[in-house]
Amino acid sequence: MFGDHHGWLLGRLRARLGCACDAADMASETFAHVVALHDPQAIREPRALLTTIAKRLMYASWRRRDLERAYLEALASEPEHFAPSAEEQMLAIETLIEIDRLLQGLSSRARAAFLYSQLDGLTYADIARELGVSAPRVHQYVAQGLRCCLEARS
């Protein structure tokens, strides 16, 4: 499969990402995911599968980049004496990425409600006003987020 489809996938990724190095890394990661499948020999539509895996990896990469950028922007707005060390910054970024991964199955509103509740300590009424939904709906969103976290611990 690699020999038949690597060049094709690399070309698509290069066009999408605009960087040959990033495209090569993403193509390699895509094929690593294929190798990790239960029965890679049973794949009937390899290009469709490769496209799906590559898109998911690309979106995950963009999410990580956006999270890191947002964290660094928030950090830059803090007074210099408050700045955490480089190690603390990396741990915070890794934690944010892990939280994002845990909550990726939730809708954007459910994710926002959960984070407002758990990180900002907002009440359900405050969250409901912020998101433009009812407080019982916020309760459902937070419960969904808690379920995602509990399922990840299992």
H or E element that contains 46: helix 46-76
The answer to whether 30 touches 59, Cβ cutoff 8 Å, is no
Query: For 115-154, b where at least 16 C-beta lie within 10 A, e where not — what string?
Result: bbbeeeebebeebbeebebeeebbeebbebbeebeeeeee
Query: For 45-71, b where at least 16 C-beta lie within 10 A, e where not — what string?
Result: ebeebbbebbeebbeeeeebeebbeeb
pLDDT of 120 reads: 83
As a whole number, the mean pLDDT across the chain is 86
Per-domain boundaries in the chain: 1-83, 105-154
Express each pLDDT in 103-140 by its tens digit: 888 888 998 998 888 888 889 999 999 999 999 999 99
Q: Would you say the C-alpha torsion 40, 42, 47, 48 has a positive or negative sign?
A: negative
pLDDT of 139 reads: 93
State which residues of the chain have pLDDT below 70.
Answer: 80-81, 154
